[in-house]
Structures are given as C-alpha cells and as structure tokens.
Amino acid sequence: MEPSTPTRPCWVEIHTQSLERNYQFLQSLAAPETELLAIVKADAYGHSLAHCAPAAVRAGARWLGVTSVEEGIAARSVCPGAQILVIAGVFPGQGRAIAEHRLTTVAWELWQLDELAAAARAVGVPSGSLPVHLEIDTGMSRQGADPAALAPLFTRFAPGSPLRLEAVMTHLFAADETDGQVTGTQLTRLDQAMSRISAAGLFAEWLNAGNSAALLAGQARPIAELAARHGMRAMLRPGLALYGLIPPFDPPFAPEEPDSLMRARTQLQPVLSWKTRVVSIREVPAGAVVGYNGTFVATEPMRLALVAAGYADGLDRRLGNRFSLLVRGERAPLVGRVSMDQAVLDITGIAGVQAGDEVVILGEQGGHTISAFDHAQAAGTIPWEIFTRIGPRVRRAVI
C-alpha cells in the first residue's frame, strides 16, 4: 500500500495483525507461568518500532526490549504505559534519561549502577524504586557479571539505595543447539548465581532469560521451574519469532520436534513484505553487457526490467547474478551487479511485464514466496541481518 504523496517505489509493508497474532501465540506457549518481553530493538528488526511496539502492546505485551536509551525514548513516546528494558545497558551520562523516561536497564558493572543511582537521586526518586535487571555472564563472555564476583554489585542494592533489583537476567546463546547441553550448563550457573543473590539477602521478582529459539525449543518450562525454585517468575524474550520466523535448529530435531516448535510452524506468520516497481524496460541484443563491469553478458536477445532497489536500500550486493525477485507471479533473475539504488531483472521469459508493475523483493506473489531465509542464504548471512539492513529510506507502511 503506497501513501498518497508519490515517492520512490521501494517500500516495506508491515502486517501488524500478524505480529499481534504471533505475540499471542508465543504467549500461549509460555503460559501460564512465564511472561514475554517483546523484542523491538533495532527499529523492531527493521519492521518499524513505531508500528510494531504499539501492536505488541495491543496484543498484550507489558514488556518491550530495546537496545539503547535512544531506542527506549522512542519506544516510550509510542508506548507510554509499557515497561521498556534497555538491553545493551546504560552509557556514561545516560542515567538521567533512564530515570526521566521511566526506562529499565540491564546492568552488570559497578559504574553502571553508580550512574543509575546518581541519576535517580538527582531526579529525586524514592529509595528502592529504580528497577535494574542484573545480567549474569553464564558463558557467552559478552555482557554480564562474573557469577563468582557478584558481592561488590550487591552493595549497590543495600537499604537506602534508590535501586531495586527487579530481575536477574542472562542470555542463552546456544538455544538453537538441539542437544540443549550449553543451555543446561548456563541454567546451572544461573541457579548458582541466584543462590548467591538470595544468600546476600536480595530478592528479585523476575528471572529474565531465553530468546525465540529457547521458547520454541520448549525451554520456557525449565526456565520457569528454575525461577519458581527461587520464588521468582520467568520472563522470555522472543524477537525473530515475533516477526513470524522460526530460527533454524542445529541439527534438526529427530525423530520429532518439540510440540511448541511443531505448533509454531503452523501458527507464526511473517509480518514484513518488501516491494518495489518496474521503472523501465529495455530490449538488448545478444552480447550486451549489464551493470557495473559487465559481469552479465546477454547470450541472446533479452528483455530487462530496471527496479528501484539497490544495496543502499538493503538489497545485498552479493545477490547480483545469483538471486531472483518476483514479477507477474514469476521469478525474474537479478542480472549484473546490484547498484546502490537500482537493480536489473531478466524478464525475457515473463509475458506482459510493464513499467509500474509491482516487484516483490521479500514476500509473496502469485503463490511464490521469497523469505528472509532465502535472502540470507544467498547473501551468506542470517535473517536477523537481512531485516535490520533494510535501509531507513525504505518507507514502512502498515497494512
């Protein structure tokens, strides 16, 4: 659907109802013990925070997850009542914005807790009221506190501190590994860390762990049981599944997939389609070269269609000469190099193509589907990167 003011025809359509249904389905997998935090970081994986965060809230999400304070402020402006978690933590000087916009942050370093406490005092929040999710490094070596060195962090939650330990958090970094061994080890380390936390007289309401893969692989139950043993509730953080994609598991489950995964295959619906239009058409003779450096040479007289999408829009340059898009319900190969703002399709075998025809880059047309997995495979990456690289100049329209 295009807006009333004509613009360059390269746009994304966001089906917010699919996102709402995906959220509700995922919440039903987690229920009743476990709550979900809807991951809307990186502009909702390129799907548009402004469209997707309110849709998640409409579907029942109480929690949203963003990367940064900046994204948190943007989420707050469209979701005034949500609890918004800043996953990558606070940066120096950002404590005040956290307190003023009622954001919650992940923290694992003393200086982060001190930044937050100083800001909380400056804006005059009552003691024990600025929520913090304390991240434990259970094996990823990315973010999180060393579970053997938590004692100094505990002092920052002493009575009179403005900080409140709302959750203990960790990231399960291999939940897509079918044998579950790494995840099991991580949960054991988390269990030990939580025992240390309660031995220090601290209490957190939430245990915050697990991405889409963890949820679909059936980890919601063990995480909820671990939380319950410590008198806590569990929260999982799906991202990709919210946008309708199922992360691949390695190796595939055999002989049978977990029930949650089987159900997801029939329930989750992709939220995003990406489209452009045919700008102009030309006939070229055999021997004509196409695009930068003539990496494609016509072997016969051909018909070519120019489309208004290039690598500056996120159409990966590696797709030139090795991928096809959909026009008139058929696959049209990308010939020559993908340019910054344009690409060329071979439409020799497709009857009736005209300037103005809709071209599907990602999505469905005429019973064919191009998925983010197809793009990822051709570009040598993962669907998360395909989505997040769709450029900011590509308009996001709600349908």
Ligand X SMILES: *Cc1c(COP(=O)(O)O)cnc(C)c1O
The residues annotated with a catalytic role in the active site are 41, 292
Q: Are 330 and 368 in contact (CB under 8 A)?
A: yes
Judged by CB under 6 A, the residue of 10, 29, 39, 69 near ligand X is 39
Cβ-based nearer residue to ligand X, 15 or 237: 237
Cβ-based nearer residue to ligand X, 19 or 278: 19
CB under 6 A: which stretch of 25-33, 123-131, 208-216, 303-311 binds ligand X? 208-216
- Told to check if 220 binds ligand X by CB under 6 A, we report no
Judged by CB under 6 A, the residue of 95, 144, 162, 238 near ligand X is 238
Question: Using CB under 6 A, which residues numbered 76 to 135 contact ligand X?
Answer: 87
Q: Are 273 and 363 in contact (CB under 8 A)?
A: yes
CB under 6 A: which stretch of 6-14, 199-207, 236-244, 279-287 binds ligand X? 236-244
Residue 69 CA to residue 59 CA, distance in Å, equals 24
Judged by CB under 6 A, the residue of 240, 334, 361, 394 near ligand X is 240
- Told to check if 52 binds ligand X by CB under 6 A, we report no
Contacts of 328 (CB under 8 A, 6+ apart): 350, 351, 352, 353, 357, 366
CB under 6 A: which stretch of 93-101, 159-167, 211-219, 321-329 binds ligand X? 211-219
Q: In the complex, what is the shortest distance from the CB of residue 352 to ligand X, in angstroms, rounded to a whole number? A: 40
Residue 124 CA to residue 72 CA, distance in Å, equals 21
CB under 6 A: which stretch of 210-218, 267-275, 304-312, 337-345 binds ligand X? 210-218
- Told to check if 171 binds ligand X by CB under 6 A, we report yes
- Told to check if 396 binds ligand X by CB under 6 A, we report no
With helix as H, strand as E and coil as C, how does 48-73 read?
CHHHHHHHHHHCCCCEEEECCHHHHH
Q: How many residues bind ligand X (CB under 6 A)?
A: 12
CA-wise closest residue to 249 among 180, 179, 182, 176: 176
Residue nearest to ligand X (CB): 239
Strand 358-365 to strand 206-208: parallel, antiparallel, or no bridges (unpaired)?
Answer: unpaired
CA-wise closest residue to 318 among 343, 300, 283: 343
Q: What is the CA radius of gyration of the chain?
A: 24
Judged by CB under 6 A, the residue of 46, 54, 239, 291 near ligand X is 239
Q: Which stretch of DSSP H or E encloses residue 213?
A: helix 212-216
With helix as H, strand as E and coil as C, how does 133-149 read?
EEEECCCCCCCCECHHH
- Told to check if 211 binds ligand X by CB under 6 A, we report yes
Q: Report angle CA 161, 164, 168 to the nearest 5 degrees.
A: 135
- Told to check if 212 binds ligand X by CB under 6 A, we report yes
Residues at the site binding ligand X, with contacts judged by CB under 6 A: 39, 41, 87, 171, 211-213, 237-240, 247
